[in-house]
Chain A
């Protein structure tokens, strides 16, 4: 079955520290991979996406993610976290042969300590 796992429900980091949010997927076809961010009461904003090519993907707000096929992972990283990064982060997979629908992980809530 297709699934996305985000092992960390809640992470707290200090402002200025580095961040890595984990994502593992199970998908039969070659997936498209996404990271979205959601602030309280808001919709989802796309941070970055991987379709093909270079496995290190750059996104907005200084985020990057690395696709590792052998580990079925697509971890999100940021070298220096800002207080405004506090939000919920969702990893998702999709494929054109599935009508483009996305399957989401349960999310990781990020808190930032001053």
Chain B
């Protein structure tokens, strides 16, 4: 257990539905990252926050995706109008920005879009 938690661990949804995932980072960590991992691939960066500010978004993050970190603590990742191609493991990680890019990963949320 790294101290980073994600909820839910598994989500099955039908195409076109909206889904929201939550990540709770290690409490003192100011940076929070979202990654997506598809079968047989390494994680791919989606977006990251420093405190409550979203500082970078990958081109992978289409306009159907939105992420928030309203109080600089937990974060949510919402996918609207899900597509089968969104099926993946969504990983959250956190770090202390002044300690170099060492990240602690949560267990992930596995999304299956039917």
Contacts and interface: CB of A to CB of B under 8 A. Distances in A.
Chain B's interface size range is 20 to 34
Interface string A71-114: 00000000000000000001010111011111111110000000
A104 B105 CA distance: 14
Contact of B103 (A41, A90, A102): A102
Contact of A43 (B91, B95, B101): B91
Contacts, number: 71
B41 A102 contact: no
Contact of A32 (B31, B33, B45, B101): B101
B49 to A, nearest CB: 10
Interface string B22-42: 000000000101010000111
Nearest to A103: B45
In this complex, the interface size class of chain A, counting residues with CB under 8 Å from chain B, is 20 to 34
A77 to B, nearest CB: 20
A103 B33 CA distance: 12
A102 B95 CA distance: 12
B41 A46 contact: no
Nearest to B55: A99
Interface stretch (B12-20, B67-75, B106-114): B106-114
B103 A100 contact: yes
Nearest to A32: B101
Interface in B84-114: 91, 93, 95, 97, 100-108, 110
A43 B108 contact: yes
A1 B2 CA distance: 31
Given A49-B102, A99-B48, A44 B43 contact: yes
B101 A106 contact: no
Contacts of B93: 44, 102
Contacts of A41: 110
Contacts of B105: 36, 43-45
Given A92-B42, A100-B101, 8 more contacts: A43-B106, A44-B91, A46-B102, A46-B104, A96-B101, A100-B100, A101-B45, A102-B45
Interface of B: 2, 4, 31, 33, 35, 40-45, 48, 50, 55-56, 91, 93, 95, 97, 100-108, 110
